[in-house]
Amino acid sequence: MRPASPNPAIHPPYQPPERCVAEWRQRRTTEDAKSIYKERAATAESINADLKCFRGLDRFLVRTLPKVTCVVFWSAIAYNVLKLLSQA
């Protein structure tokens, strides 16, 4: 078990994964959560699928975290520019 945090306001107490998953599943069944997940499926997941399928983000040709971060940022910029151009 992790040691107690000196400032509990910054770090919440550790909860076993089973309890966290059960609480998440409970929150997910509310009507607000259902609408949020439905909206997310239509927006964020389609962007992730586009980047993976058509922009080559399923595998990286670079190896270090700064380089991967750079590739991801360039892909996001390219996606946003293409989206802007298609709306204009």
Residue 23, pLDDT score? 86
- pLDDT, one tens digit per residue, over 53-88 is 888 888 888 999 999 999 999 998 998 999 899 987
Residue 2, pLDDT score? 60
Altogether, the residues listed in the chain come to a count of: 88
Residue 45 predicted with pLDDT over 60: yes
Give the range among 3-12, 31-40, 64-73 with minimum mean pLDDT. Answer: 3-12
